[in-house]
Chain A
Amino acid sequence: RKEVEQDPGPFNVPEGATVAFNCTYSNSASQSFFWYRQDCRKEPKLLMSVYSSGNEDGRFTAQLNRASQYISLLIRDSKLSDSATYLCVVIGFNNAGNMLTFGGGTRLMVKP
């Protein structure tokens, strides 16, 4: 089983739709979680951190369910510019300290 798993999609939605992505992680000791956004042929960029209490940033809402070991991202009122791959990221640890473990990404395509 992969450490961090996501539905690869693609999710094809019309403008204005609400779309949700889930991500599951296998290490119950994981402490920190993030959603990154990656545009085609570009580097990933931090979208938002995921807190235990859930957090919202404009049209984006992130939730964490520790008991079930999953993280979700909800996007409301989708814009064309939201089209990208969304990466679920979990912080783990290796011998060199902490490290990011990326899920495979979920591709979103918002259409007019």
Chain B
Amino acid sequence: GAVVSQHPSWVICKSGTSVKIECRSLDFQATTMFWYRQFPKQSLMLMATSNEGSKATYEQGVEKDKFLINHASLTLSTLTVTSAHPEDSSFYICSGRLYNEQFFGPGTRLTVL
């Protein structure tokens, strides 16, 4: 299957700082990438859909000014958590769509102190 990478895999930061997470499709071009968030013992919740070259579409309840998404190329999408707070601590997973299948990155565990 296709491979998606994320960087960093784990980040700890102080409250109020911004954190950028990169999602790359390594062996395919993903015109659409998805960003999910997963809290402990809960399922994945879609945050936003990112289309290359256009603005991301955010799900209800997700603040677009807090979670900045950039999808400047067919192989890279970034999620920036601005002014992170402890309640933003979560597991962030991206996925890239190839045909009708989604391939997930390994996830980024964010801990905000």
**Residues on A close to B: CB < 8 A?**
8, 32, 41-46, 87, 94-105
Contact = CB atoms under 8 A, between A and B. Distances in A.
Given A94-B59, A99-B34, A102-B43, A44 B104 contact: yes
Given A41-B91, A41-B109, A94-B49, A100 B102 contact: yes
A97 B44 contact: no
Give the interface size class of chain B: 20 to 34
A95 B106 contact: no
Interface of B: 1, 32, 34, 41-46, 49, 51, 57, 59, 91, 93, 95, 100-102, 104-107, 109
Contacts of B41: 8
Contacts of B43: 87, 102-105
Nearest to B107: A43
